[in-house]
Amino acid sequence: MPNSPTARIAPQSLLDVAYRLDPVVFATDAQLTPDPWQARVLRSTAPRLLLNVSRQAGKSSVSSVLGLHTALYTPDSLVLIVSPSQRQSAELFRKLLAAYRTLSRPVAPIAENAFSLELVNGSRIVALPGHEETTRGFSAVRLLIIDEASRVADALYHSVTPMLAVSAGRLVTMSTPWGKRGWWYAAWEASRRGDEAWERYEVPATDCPRIPAAFLAEQRRSKGDLWYQSEFMCSFVDVTSGLFSADAIDAAFATGGDPFFPDLDRTLADSDDAADGFYDRAEGFAL
């Protein structure tokens, strides 16, 4: 029985009921005292979650606890952890194992290693490498956790999400932004515009009480504003190597002008060529 205030006053059977009914109690006894946003994530029943959360603000901790709770209290569950690399998946899995051991292995293991855990209740947790061709073959997934989601390739995302179809499984995606590109950015924008398929959370570093303001100021000075905004402030900033910003291109297409030379387009529209019928904003030059 874990050494916690809850465990010291509750018989094991009642404690198990409390764990099953409230993942926040479960997380607290696993030595994660949830922030308010983490408590909302743990108690959420939404099928799709987007966690746009600053570095070191607790997104890996809360998702690992959620994965463990699912495996322990939903028998015969398959929980998959997917990241851009095996090392990253294994790191999140290590946090999950640490919580499992802190709670004194409340459901006995059949097999336990660096990348997977199999329990006597039929549940399995597997940490996978970030390659589309090596993640196929799983089915009836109860919970799919995608870590560093903004850096997970579209092909990998599209190969793993069908595994949720038959089981009506849940999808938890978490990351800091990495430019205005990819499936995760598209999902975030869709949710921002009101797509109810996703429940989204935005937690900048300034909302995390464990990250000192002095540290953030130093990071901003040393790393630059673009990096700081992306990694700590949850901002989808344009990739710096791009010649044109995504917003500029979208705005140009929305107005029907030239997406790459909007100023030239306006100049030509007001020129003598336009007056003489040689140039039309919608059609370009008519020679």
Q: Is the pLDDT of residue 30 over 90?
A: yes
Q: Is the pLDDT of residue 280 over 60?
A: no
Contacts of residues 21-27 at CB distance under 8 Å and 24 or more positions apart, as own/partner, are 23/65, 23/66, 23/69, 26/65, 26/69, 26/103, 27/62, 27/65, 27/69
Query: Which pLDDT belongs to residue 239?
Result: 60
Query: Which pLDDT belongs to residue 246?
Result: 52
Rounded Cα–Cα distance for residues 132 and 203 (Å): 29
- Range with the poorest average pLDDT among 18-22, 45-49, 127-131, 177-181: 127-131
User: What DSSP letter does each residue of 206-256 carry, written as one string?
Assistant: GG-TTS-HHHHHHHHHHH-HHHHHHHHS---PPPTT-SS-HHHHHHHHHHT
User: What DSSP letter does each residue of 17-71 carry, written as one string?
Assistant: HHHHH-HHHHHHHTT----HHHHHHHH---SEEEEEE-TTSSHHHHHHHHHHHHH
pLDDT tens digits for 255-271?
444 444 444 444 434 54
pTM of the model: 0.79
CATH fold for domain 5-240: Rossmann fold (3.40.50)
Cβ-proximal residues to 99 (8 Å cutoff; 6+ apart), any chain: 30, 31, 32, 64, 65, 68
Q: Is the pLDDT of residue 15 over 90?
A: no
pLDDT tens digits for 47-71?
999 999 999 999 999 999 999 999 9
The residue ranges of every structural domain in the chain are 5-240, 243-287
Packing angle of the helix pair 12-21, 59-73 (nearest 10 deg): 120
User: What DSSP letter does each residue of 75-91 carry, written as one string?
Assistant: TT-EEEEE-SSHHHHHH
